[in-house]
Amino acid sequence: MNQNDNNPGTNDVAVKDRLLSTARAAGEKAYAPYSHYHVGAAVLTEDGEIVSGCNVENASYGLTNCAERTAIFKAVSSGARKIRAIAIAGPEGGSPAYPCGACRQVIAEFADTADIPIYVSTGSDSFEAYTLAELLPKGFVL
Ligand code: THU
């Protein structure tokens, strides 16, 4: 397990557990009739709120929205402007649902700092932790 949890406040065990359990539960809401790959995500906003999301697929496959972006867009459209952590949960028993490249760039857009934790569920009671900087080194900035 990679434990790069160096962001005080978001590493609170209770917050981490809530993020992971919210992400796992959100996967049950996934709309994934094409891939059948259900993903859930949960973000912690600057206000300490937890916002969930799931993947939403489309018959025109490229229009699919990943769980991470659904959660972030829900949070931002509710007024949040910064996220302090994100958790992602794919189907249990498969390989961990690491965020895709597009989602990493969207996480970077709203991340409080480059050190925010990204928790990836690896089972009902296990996870891996990374920082955004680890998963997206030298991301695009304007
Ligand atoms: N997916 C996510 O929701 N998040 C990821 O990090 C990777 C992929 C979704 C998109 C699509 O609905 C399904 O998983 C298969 O690619």
pLDDT for res 10:
59
- 3: which strand partners? 129
DSSP string, 8-63: TTT--HHHHHHHHHHHHHHGGG-B-TTT----EEEEEETTS-EEEEE-B--SSGGG
pLDDT for res 13:
86
pLDDT for res 3:
38
- 119: which strand partners? 87, 129
Top mutation candidate among 29, 31, 35, 118 for ligand 1, by most atoms within 8 Å of CB = 35
Q: What is the DSSP letter of 113?
A: S
Q: How is the beta sheet containing 50-54 ordered, strand by strand?
A: 50-54, 40-45, 83-89, 117-123, 126-131
pLDDT for res 2:
37
Provide the whole-model pTM: 0.93
Q: Could you say which of 28, 46, 49, 68 is catalytic?
A: 68
d(CA 8, CA 122): 23
- Return the number of other C-beta atoms located less than 10 Å from residue 54's C-beta: 24
pLDDT for res 12:
80
Task: Per-residue pLDDT tens, the chain, 142 aa: give them.
Answer: 333 344 545 568 899 999 999 999 999 999 999 999 999 999 999 999 999 999 999 999 999 999 999 999 999 999 999 999 999 999 999 999 999 999 999 999 999 999 999 999 999 999 999 999 999 999 999 9
How far apart, in Å, are the Cα atoms of 84 and each of 21, 118, 137? 17, 9, 18
d(CA 20, CA 105): 21
Does residue 82 contact residue 43 with C-beta atoms inside 8 Å? no
Element (H, E) at 7: none
CA of 99 to the centre of ligand 1 (A): 8
Query: What is the amino acid identity at position 12?
Result: D
CA of 86 to the centre of ligand 1 (A): 15
